[in-house]
């Protein structure tokens, strides 16, 4: 088995796709508050900046920036996935560990693997601001692409609402974006 070494480039925004093991599940939306709490908990002791975040039923996308002195995002995602997995089990949103999975209860699975998440995630290091903006737009437009809503601002589980509140994005952003007028959308 080959060992994949993830680059840790300080202060470079990174685009992520993180998926549940069961594609087609709605767990991330059903347990959105649990996911938000897990992200906030990890962020409280391992800080990072959220440039964009969108949660879909079975996967999520994020553009994050990490501190120069602590760029290890793999540990952060592992902690978020583990916290979420524990909390949804405690809340009864997924079945408890079966007796046959007693080894999982004893911690023989790696963090975050508790059968809910895919073992790995995809990441892409953004080369410049234009690429960061493109990845942020991708996050916000993904619920529209999947046919979940007609406008990006109609999707509750998206950081686009923060940007609209702060006046950095127009409420009709998705119309401009989907019509190809990217200058108006950003």
Are the C-beta atoms of residues 137 and 32 closer than 8 Å to each other?
A: no
**pLDDT tens per residue, range 6-34:** 555 667 999 999 999 999 999 999 999 99
**Alpha carbon distance 64, 138 (integer Å):** 14
**Looking at residue 99, what is its pLDDT?**
47
Question: Could you confirm whether domain 14-185 is CATH 3.30.430.20?
Answer: no
**Alpha carbon distance 56, 144 (integer Å):** 11
Which residues of the chain fall short of a pLDDT of 70? 1-10, 97-114, 173-186
Residue-range domain boundaries for the chain = 14-185
pTM of the complete model: 0.82
């Amino acid at each position: 088995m080959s060992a994949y070494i993830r680059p840790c480039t300080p202060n470079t925004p990174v685009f992520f796709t993180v998926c549940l093991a069961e594609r087609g599940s709605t767990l991330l939306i059903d347990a959105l508050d649990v996911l938000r709490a897990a992200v906030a908990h990890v962020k409280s002791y391992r800080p990072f900046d959220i440039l964009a975040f969108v949660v879909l039923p079975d996967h999520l996308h994020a553009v994050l920036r990490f501190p120069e002195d602590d760029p290890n995002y793999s540990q952060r995602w592992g902690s978020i996935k583990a916290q979420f997995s524990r909390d949804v089990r405690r809340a009864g949103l997924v079945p408890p560990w079966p007796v046959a999975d007693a080894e999982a209860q004893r911690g023989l699975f790696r963090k975050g693997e508790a059968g809910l998440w895919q073992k790995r995630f995809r990441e892409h290091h953004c080369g410049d601001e234009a690429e960061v903006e493109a990845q942020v737009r991708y996050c916000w437009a993904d619920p529209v692409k999947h046919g979940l809503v007609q406008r990006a601002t109609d999707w509750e589980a998206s950081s686009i609402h923060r940007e609209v509140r702060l006046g950095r994005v127009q409420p009709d952003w998705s119309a401009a974006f989907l019509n190809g007028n990217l200058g108006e959308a950003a």
